[in-house]
């Protein structure tokens, strides 16, 4: 299933709908302003929070955390010993690790588990400016988690470029 994401979701304080490939509202990104940490909430169409994305404003080691039901879900960090600058590691709470690699700033990258493709993020499917798709390849994959991972690594890469 492909999900349409516009880059404007990165403005804290803004709300934005992510649509599925049929044009239906699938997720609402709710930007929380005026907090010590950047916070975004990914909600279902009924307003239930599925994943909370957090990044500390002043952090020694750039990382974002994902939470579900106020409990840790995952931590995302840039892979330290990678020859590829755009390589991130997602460590889920139970210890499972996902690899994110590709051209993050170009919105052309993949999310994999143990060499198996879970999601492909690309601008190639759309001709609309500042729009990309998160194509969740496996039907049993957690789409909310994979969209949250995509949002986090893009945000982290943009901060790294600015800093």
pTM of the model: 0.86
Q: What are the beta bridge partners of residue 2?
A: 135
Task: Specify the higher pLDDT residue, 159 or 133.
Answer: 133
Read off the DSSP letter of residue 115. Answer: T
SS3 of 106, please? coil
Task: Specify the higher pLDDT residue, 11 or 119.
Answer: 119
- d(CA 90, CA 102) in angstroms, rounded, equals 14
- d(CA 83, CA 11) in angstroms, rounded, equals 30
Tell me the per-residue pLDDT of 80-122, one tens digit each, with 9 for 90 and over: 765 556 789 999 999 999 999 999 988 999 999 999 999 999 9
pLDDT tier at 9 (50, 70, 90 boundaries)?
Answer: very low
Tell me the per-residue pLDDT of 33-85, one tens digit each, with 9 for 90 and over: 545 457 889 999 999 999 999 875 555 457 899 999 999 999 999 887 655 56
Task: Specify the higher pLDDT residue, 40 or 146.
Answer: 146
SS3 of 143, please? helix
Q: What are phi and psi of 47, to 5 degrees?
A: 95, 0
- d(CA 138, CA 86) in angstroms, rounded, equals 23
pLDDT (average), residues 137-142: 92
The answer, yes or no, to whether residue 7 has pLDDT greater than 80, is: no
Amino acid 83: pLDDT: 58
* Region of poorest pLDDT, from 15-19, 81-85, 159-163: 81-85
pLDDT (average), residues 134-158: 91
């Amino acid at each position: 299933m492909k999900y349409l994401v516009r880059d404007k979701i990165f403005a804290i304080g803004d709300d934005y709908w992510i649509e599925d490939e049929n044009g239906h509202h699938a997720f609402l990104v709710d930007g929380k302003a005026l907090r010590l940490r950047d916070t975004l909430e990914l909600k279902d169409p009924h307003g239930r929070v599925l994943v909370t994305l957090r990044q500390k404003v002043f952090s020694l080691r750039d990382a974002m955390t994902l939470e579900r039901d106020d409990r840790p879900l995952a931590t995302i960090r840039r892979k330290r010993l990678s020859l590829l600058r755009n390589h991130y590691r997602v460590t889920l709470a139970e210890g499972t690790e996902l690899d994110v690699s590709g051209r993050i700033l170009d919105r052309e990258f993949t999310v994999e588990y143990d060499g198996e493709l879970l999601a492909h993020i690309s601008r190639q499917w759309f001709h609309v400016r500042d729009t990309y798709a998160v194509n969740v390849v496996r039907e049993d994959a957690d789409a909310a988690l994979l969209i949250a991972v995509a949002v986090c690594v893009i945000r982290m890469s943009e901060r790294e470029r600015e800093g």
